[in-house]
Amino acid sequence: MPANLIKRDVITALAARAAGLDQSGGDPRLKQVVNRLLADLMLAIDELDISMDEFWRGIAYFTQAGKQNEFGLIVPGVVLEHFLDLRLDEAERRAGLATGTVRTIEGPLYISGAPISKGEARLDDGTDDGEVLFMEGQVRDVSGEPIVGAVVDVWHANTMGNYSHFDPAQAAFNLRRRIETDKEGRYRFRSIMPSGYACPPGSQTEKLLQAMGRHGNRPAHVHFFVTAPDYRKLTTQINIDGDKYLHDDFAFGTRDELIPRVERITEAAEIYKLGLNKPFARIQFDFSLTKEVAGAPATIVAREHAEAA
């Protein structure tokens, strides 16, 4: 069929009626958004001459993605989660907010309610024979003042790139903890070095990426929410330097400021001091939080999370 069969004002009139703009009831914001998205979609169908087969293949794709609970995976893969971060960054810049540690995507694999402890924690349950990782740092105000009692909520994958809860082979809350900073604003934890995550084989997410000639790999990374009363919630990650996918993250989460140096400790005395019998890795990373300001765009995002059983 040829493209551009329908006049633009016919399309916008249809979208307006379908979104109930001529009705007094309903949610005005929802109507505004549905109207715009419908009009844009119909314009795209008409301009690109999207066939009925293509259209229904798309609907079948979404239906299956919903059944498999994959929208949370698709969103970062098609850059939308990173795009929302860029918008929030720019809104904060325009609001004149001081910049602390840069944010990056939350991703779909957070579970709330991880065990909480003061100052330090061990994240791994000892069943994964990965490289031992010690990570530590301070949570500070943008002026450099330590923040006592901040909560560092950390989660990451195991050496297979899998996350507990989503991976039935792991114990509940494995590699997930909340650590309250000590009286110097410090946190520290022992864990294992994560491996990069790959979106599930055979998933709708992977099918879409492959159809676009892309891969579904992320570099190894560690996620954080850092919170403290009167400060803006920070959602971020660190990426593990040296990973093959460091600058080729399918989820667009890597940011240059979030690649700390990974120190490899091989001296016997240091290894012995920590009760280990093999070399280990150490990462030092400080977080800097911005004070909450009335009227600033919210950094606490209402989002559904899977619940621990």
Binding site for ligand DHB (CB under 6 A): 73, 76-77, 105, 107-109, 197, 199, 218, 251
Question: What does 100 interact with, of Fe ion, ligand DHB, none (CB < 5 to 8 A by kind)?
Answer: none
Please provide the size of the chain in residues: 309
Contact present, 290 and 99 (Cβ < 8 Å): yes
Please provide the distance, in angstroms rounded to a whole number, between the alpha carbons at the two ends of the chain. 52
Residue 253 engages Fe ion in binding (rule: CB under 5 A)? no
The packing angle between helices 8-18 and 28-48, to 10°, is: 140
Q: Which is nearer to ligand DHB, 197 or 245 (CB)?
A: 197
Question: What does 199 interact with, of Fe ion, ligand DHB, none (CB < 5 to 8 A by kind)?
Answer: ligand DHB
Q: How far is the CB of 251 from Fe ion (least distance, A)?
A: 8
Q: How far is the CB of 47 from ligand DHB (least distance, A)?
A: 29
Q: How far is the CB of 200 from ligand DHB (least distance, A)?
A: 8
Question: What does 219 interact with, of Fe ion, ligand DHB, none (CB < 5 to 8 A by kind)?
Answer: none
Q: How far is the CB of 163 from ligand DHB (least distance, A)?
A: 7
Query: Restricting to residues 101-140, which ones interact with Fe ion according to CB under 5 A?
Result: 107
Q: Distance (Å, rounded) from C-alpha 263 to C-alpha 134?
A: 10
Which of the ranges 77-85, 99-107, 112-120, 255-263 carries the binding residues for Fe ion, by CB under 5 A?
99-107
Q: Which is nearer to ligand DHB, 105 or 139 (CB)?
A: 105
Q: Which is nearer to ligand DHB, 173 or 280 (CB)?
A: 173
Q: Distance (Å, rounded) from C-alpha 259 to C-alpha 219?
A: 11
Q: Distance (Å, rounded) from C-alpha 101 to C-alpha 217?
A: 25
Residue 194 engages Fe ion in binding (rule: CB under 5 A)? no
* Number of CB atoms found within 10 A of residue 224's CB: 22
> What secondary structure does DSSP assign to 239-260, as a single string?
E-TT-TTTT--TT----GGG-P
Nearest C-alpha neighbor of 147 from the set 120, 185, 117, 119: 185
Separate counts of helices (H) and strands (E) for the chain = 7, 11
Question: What does 73 interact with, of ligand DHB, Fe ion, none (CB < 5 to 8 A by kind)?
Answer: ligand DHB
Q: Which is nearer to ligand DHB, 38 or 222 (CB)?
A: 222
Amino acid at 56: W
- When CB distances to ligand DHB are compared, the closest residue is 107
Q: How far is the CB of 90 from Fe ion (least distance, A)?
A: 24
Q: How far is the CB of 117 from ligand DHB (least distance, A)?
A: 24
Residues linked to residue 186 through DSSP beta bridges, in sequence order: 138
Q: Which is nearer to Fe ion, 186 or 221 (CB)?
A: 221
Q: Distance (Å, rounded) from C-alpha 175 to C-alpha 166?
A: 12
* Interacting residues toward Fe ion by CB under 5 A: 107
